[in-house]
Structure 1
Amino acid sequence: MDLHLVTYFVAVVDHGGITKAAQALYISQPSLSQAIRTLERRLGTTLFDRSGRRLELTEDGRRLDVAARRILADVDRAKATVAAVRELESGRVDVVTYSAFSLDPLVDLISRFRLRYPGILVNVVDAEGPAAVHTALRRGAAEVGVTDLSVEYPGMVTIPLAEQELALAMHRDIATELPNPLPRERIRDVPLIVDLSDTASSMRVGSLVGDGAPNVVVDCAHPMAASELMLRGTGAIFTSSRIPQGRSADVALLTFEPPLRRPIGLLLRSGEPSPAAAAFVTTSTAGPLEV
């Protein structure tokens, strides 16, 4: 059933006849009469009793009147929902990342976005490294990725955000004999807790500690577990130089000489993003990140 025929039918009911309804709809009376006859023909029933001076609904007409008003109300609600999403008053954006960026810069990016668009839900999708971020975007599980841009992502659009300076966080007992900043070659003297499923980090660590990474003591993809192990003195973790590690009296944060940095940015599928995803990109690139 054409929506305009439903609209015409309700207008005739509300105005009590063809003439006034046609005037309200800004169409000719013959056109409206033909539209009502078309509706009756498609439904295979008579909707109006035309025997009197005023059109009266038949029993089938009354049933359609209830259904028609429900249809028009649903359409109005759908239009309002679409408009709200386009105006970013409601909706959702799915952002995928992995443990290396779950705090920095993700917290800053989401905070920026939520300040500007409080009605939009941000759904954070967890991935196991850059390859999984790529896969999630290709499969449509997320629209925006936050990831290490030193990795290749075929077919994707990359948007650089910043260079993140890395540091080593460790229990102060491990740091006692180490200088700060730490010369890169001295990383081999430090027991490390790393996420080897993060291919970019794995390659970076491998280049710093040599073949086989003999001083990697724990392979851990869970940042909370890695932090707890670090606090208990098991080893050191690579982290953003600006992330407070908690229990600061027990934690030493050592930067590197020369500085160790990685490029971070956004990853998107090619094509037009949703309004919410486009807004996330806009707020993320609106100013420099403190990384």
Structure 2
Amino acid sequence: MDRRQLEYFLAVASHGSFTSAASALRVAQPSLSYTIRTLERELGTSLFHRLGRGVRLTPEGQALVGSAQQVLRAFQSALSSVQQVTRLEAGRLDIVALTTLAVDPLAGLVGTFRRAHPGVDIRIEDPEHAAAVAEMVRVGECELGLADFSVPSAGLRALELREQEMLAVLPPDAEMATGRSVKMTQVAAMDLITTPPGTTTRTLLEQSLAGAGVPLRIAVETPHRAAIVPLVLAGAGVALLPRPMAEDAARQGARIGVIDPPVVRRVRLLWRPEPLSHAGQAFVEMVRRETAPGRVDEPSHGHRETL
């Protein structure tokens, strides 16, 4: 098994067909097919179900994906160490983040990192559900993960970032003036727009209302986070959003209320306890300088290291 075989395997798995993978790799399809057959012969098993013009991973193929990604990252890390030392003139960094955290703080952090290391490509993944952030990091599908404290992180290192303040976002015709404080009891009396149960934003909303001793009254429930601000602007109800997203909604005409007492979301960056790639280490160090209050949780029994 060699690096080219793993690269070809991951390309076919990603594109779902030999034709598309060959085009993306810029190799002849017969050469690609031969390489995959050779890999399957060496492993003694089929990695793909051939389905007419497409393919689907077998259970054995699914088991290989995470390890193959880790091997290729390790190879790239070693190559960078020899050729470029720590200058980070090339490379790639895979990050998985909750949708709202991809907007803030991740977008700003990636911008800062890219200005410092323009040769490093960034891939930001959207998890299927909140717990998938830690799982994608744990199995090596992504090197770093960004989640709030509701996501279990057993076995991972975690760097706590600054808290993210949540604001109430109201329709343009709301009687309340922008910037005024609002109690959670007042929020509870309004028609609420929120994401489905189990999402981190919904969980935070439920906990905040429970803490205020008031029930949750939902007007609109949607998994489409991009639709929440348009729904508010259309007068469908009120939403709780992170401050940067709320302020952007205000620029579009929404009114925003500062919740008293504050509703905040604690955010942390996750990674495996193994040594990071140069790009991963540089990103963690940048986050530590830019936003972190200075505490790392170790994977063993929750021990914390003060930085």
1:251 maps to 254
Report the AA paired with residue 240 of structure 1.
P
Distance in 2 between residues matched to 1:278 and 1:220, nearest whole Å: 37
> Secondary structure, in 3 states, of the residue corresponding to 1:259?
strand
Report the AA paired with residue 253 of structure 1.
I
CA contact (8 A) 1:166 1:259 kept: yes
Distance in 2 between residues matched to 1:269 and 1:109, nearest whole Å: 20
Q: Closer, same or farther in 2 for the Cα pair 1:269/1:260, shift >3 Å?
A: same
| Equivalent residue runs for 1:5-20 within 5 Å | none
Distance in 2 between residues matched to 1:82 and 1:212, nearest whole Å: 60
Distance in 1 between residues matched to 2:79 and 2:244, nearest whole Å: 45
1:233 maps to 235
> Secondary structure, in 3 states, of the residue corresponding to 2:131?
helix
Distance in 2 between residues matched to 1:265 and 1:80, nearest whole Å: 27
> Secondary structure, in 3 states, of the residue corresponding to 1:286?
helix
Q: How far off is 1:213 after superposition?
A: 5.6
CA contact (8 A) 1:88 1:117 kept: yes
Distance in 1 between residues matched to 2:175 and 2:129, nearest whole Å: 28
Q: CA offsets per residue over residues 48-96 of structure 1, 9 Å max, x none?
A: xxxxxxxxxxxxxxxxxxxxxxxxxxxxxx9679624853101110110
> Secondary structure, in 3 states, of the residue corresponding to 1:127?
coil
Give the structure-1-normalised TM-score.
0.65
CA contact (8 A) 2:131 2:152 kept: no
Q: CA offsets per residue over residues 225-254 of structure 1, 9 Å max, x none?
A: 122212211122222223332462621111
Q: Closer, same or farther in 2 for the Cα pair 1:281/1:249, shift >3 Å?
A: closer
Distance in 2 between residues matched to 1:114 and 1:197, nearest whole Å: 35
Q: How far off is 1:178 after superposition?
A: 9.7
CA contact (8 A) 2:196 2:223 kept: yes
Distance in 2 between residues matched to 1:247 and 1:288, nearest whole Å: 25
Distance in 1 between residues matched to 2:125 and 2:152, nearest whole Å: 20
> Secondary structure, in 3 states, of the residue corresponding to 2:161?
strand
Q: How far off is 1:102 after superposition?
A: 2.1
> Secondary structure, in 3 states, of the residue corresponding to 1:162?
coil
Tell me, yes or no, if structure 1 residue 279 matches structure 2 residue 282: yes
Report the AA paired with residue 93 of structure 2.
V
Q: CA offsets per residue over residues 106-146 of structure 1, 9 Å max, x none?
A: 11111111111111011000014430211211232211111
1:137 maps to 137
Tell me, yes or no, if structure 1 residue 95 matches structure 2 residue 95: yes
Q: How far off is 1:289 after superposition?
A: 7.0
> Secondary structure, in 3 states, of the residue corresponding to 1:137?
helix
Tell me, yes or no, if structure 1 residue 216 matches structure 2 residue 205: no
Q: How far off is 1:198 after superposition?
A: 4.7
Larger radius of gyration: 1
Q: Closer, same or farther in 2 for the Cα pair 1:144/1:177, shift >3 Å?
A: same
Report the AA paired with residue 270 of structure 1.
P
Distance in 2 between residues matched to 1:250 and 1:241, nearest whole Å: 15
Distance in 2 between residues matched to 1:189 and 1:177, nearest whole Å: 17
Distance in 2 between residues matched to 1:207 and 1:247, nearest whole Å: 25
Tell me, yes or no, if structure 1 residue 168 matches structure 2 residue 168: yes
1:206 maps to 206
Q: Closer, same or farther in 2 for the Cα pair 1:109/1:197, shift >3 Å?
A: farther
Give the structure-2-normalised TM-score.
0.62
Structure 2 unaligned segments of length 5 or more: list them: 1-77, 294-307
CA contact (8 A) 1:206 1:212 kept: no
Distance in 1 between residues matched to 2:177 and 2:122, nearest whole Å: 44
Tell me, yes or no, if structure 1 residue 261 matches structure 2 residue 249: no
Q: Which moved more, 1:126-135 or 1:101-110?
A: 126-135
